[in-house]
Amino acid sequence: DVKVTQSSRYLVKRTGEKVFLECVQDMDHENMFWYRQDPGLGLRLIYFSYDVKMKEKGDIPEGYSVSREKKERFSLILESASTNQTSMYLCASRDPRMGNNEQFFGPGTRLTVL
Partner 1 sequence: SQQGEEDPQALSIQEGENATMNCSYKTSINNLQWYRQNSGRGLVHLILIRSNEREKHSGRLRVTLDTSKKSSSLLITASRAADTASYFCRSGGSNYKLTFGKGTLLTVNP
To the nearest whole angstrom, how small is the minimum distance from the Cβ of residue 71 to partner 1?
Answer: 16
For every residue of 38-55, which 3-state class applies, written as one string? ECCCEEEEEEEECCCCCC
By C-beta, is 1 or 80 nearer to partner 1? 1
Cβ closest to partner 1, residue 28 vs residue 102:
102
Give the shortest CB-87-to-partner 1 separation in angstroms.
Answer: 13
User: Can you give the binding site for partner 1, defined by CB under 8 A?
Assistant: 4, 31, 33, 35, 40-45, 48, 50, 56, 58-59, 88, 90, 92, 94, 100-108, 110
Q: Is 90 helix (H, G, I), strand (E, B) or coil?
A: strand
Q: Is 68 exposed, middle or buried (0-12, 13-18, 19+ CB in 10 A)?
A: buried
Compute the least distance from the CB of residue 12 to partner 1, in Å.
16
Question: How far does CA 18 lie from the centroid of its chain?
Answer: 15
CB distance 13 to 67 below 8 Å: no
CB 44 → partner 1: shortest distance, Å? 8
